[in-house]
Amino acid sequence: MRTIIQRVSKAEVIVNQKVIGKIKQGFTLLLGIEEADTLEDLNWLVEKVCKLRIFSDENDKMNLNIKEAKGNILVISQFTLLAKTKKGNRPSYIKAAKPDHAQNLYEKFIDALFHQLDQPIQSGQFGAHMQITQTNDGPVTLFLDTKNKE
């Protein structure tokens, strides 16, 4: 599993000209799922996302996690995070999970965030063409990969 975490002051996702997910301060998570991903990957990533201290405290130091900052989360499925670009100019998505496996883990990921944070999680629509509008805050952008836990 791979995710791009972007700290935002607001974000929304639109499908067919309708807003289906919207948050104020928090994270936009772009989530890529590969065929080899398991519940172990999912649990590690949820734990990491929830504990990252990248919100400012009263001294303007990045010391608060998403729950302490009372932030929200918008999760967007993004298979293109699994792109391989080594050969040629057309990305290969050979490692991306098949839709059934990916959608199952995507939904479990959202559910796990909900249970960890005890708050609703906003999301895009799996497999849909989406427009995402957001205001990056900082900007603060992180990349996490469960196969390369750095």
Residue at 81 is within a domain: yes
Burial of 96 (0-12, 13-18, 19+ CB in 10 A): buried
Overall average pLDDT of the 79-104 stretch: 94
What's the rounded Cα separation, in Å, for the pair 57 and 25?
14
The confidence score (pLDDT) of residue 66 equals: 98
Overall average pLDDT of the 129-138 stretch: 97
* Residue-number span of the structural domain to which 12 is assigned: 2-144
Number of domain units in the chain? 1
The confidence score (pLDDT) of residue 98 equals: 96
Residue at 115 is within a domain: yes
Residue at 125 is within a domain: yes
What's the rounded Cα separation, in Å, for the pair 115 and 91?
35
Residue at 113 is within a domain: yes
What is the percent of the chain where pLDDT is above 90?
97
Full-model pTM? 0.94
Q: What is the mean pLDDT of the chain?
A: 96
Residue at 70 is within a domain: yes
Single out the catalytic residue among 38, 80, 133, 135: 80
CATH label of the domain that carries residue 61: 3.50.80.10
Q: Is 80 known to be catalytic?
A: yes
The confidence score (pLDDT) of residue 27 equals: 98
- Taking phi over 0 as left and psi of -120 to 50 as alpha, with beta for the rest, 18 belongs to beta
Overall average pLDDT of the 73-96 stretch: 94
The confidence score (pLDDT) of residue 150 equals: 77
Give the tokens for residue 137: 């805050």
Residues 7-18 have pLDDT tens digits of: 999 999 999 999
Residue at 149 is within a domain: no
* DSSP state, residue 97: P
Q: With contact defined as beta carbons under 8 Å apart, do 100 and 91 qualify?
A: no
Residue at 150 is within a domain: no
Residues 3-43 have pLDDT tens digits of: 999 999 999 999 999 999 999 999 999 999 999 999 999 99
Residue at 63 is within a domain: yes
The confidence score (pLDDT) of residue 149 equals: 86
Overall average pLDDT of the 120-143 stretch: 97
Give the tokens for residue 142: 């992180």
